Amino acid sequence: MDNLRNEILRYLETNSRVNLGELAVLLGVDEVKVANEIADMEKEKIICGYHTLIDWDKAGVETVTALIEVRVTPQRNQGFDRIAERIYNYPEVHAVYLISGGYDLLVTLEGKTLKEVSRFVSEKLSPIESVISTATYFILKKYKDHGTILVPKKESERMLVTP
């Protein structure tokens, strides 16, 4: 990947709301060029979406996040893809990863209550034929998410002016 693309992506990864004129200034290139690169990368699905990182706890909205390890029997000709699809199509499923190690798929799930999550596991996930077993872990506190530290940061202790 060329350098400009890389720099644009690195920036957007943590500042997707930046205005294009400003990004062009920061990177020292022409605004039209930046706009074109971004448009191209959107088309090529290198940029897959623009999301907002929300601390739901602070927003006062009750949510429960669970990590679920899933062991499955891969299916002939389709490996894990088909079973993954059956899982990721549920809107409450946030992420599905194929994992190396002791189990096969890692599913992250967001629900309103513990009950809702456990109902999903027992009624939707476990009954899928090729699912051998599941193990569910509830997240108690998010310290850092998507590279962003969520716990309050200390004030800077620098002096106001120094030589």
Binding site for other proteins (CB under 8 A): 7, 22, 25-28, 156, 158-163
Sign of CA dihedral 95, 98, 103, 105: positive
Q: How far is the CB of 15 from other proteins (least distance, A)?
A: 9
- Please check whether residue 110 is in contact with residue 63, taking contact to mean a CB–CB distance below 8 angstroms: yes
Nearer to other proteins, 7 or 69 (CB): 7
34 Cβ partners below 8 Å, 6+ apart? Answer: 8, 20, 23, 24, 27
Q: How far is the CB of 149 from other proteins (least distance, A)?
A: 11
Residue 20 to residue 18: CA distance in whole angstroms: 6
Q: How far is the CB of 98 from other proteins (least distance, A)?
A: 28
Nearer to other proteins, 77 or 162 (CB): 162
State the DSSP code for 100.
S
Nearer to other proteins, 16 or 122 (CB): 16
Q: How far is the CB of 53 from other proteins (least distance, A)?
A: 17
- Please check whether residue 127 is in contact with residue 103, taking contact to mean a CB–CB distance below 8 angstroms: no
Nearer to other proteins, 119 or 146 (CB): 146
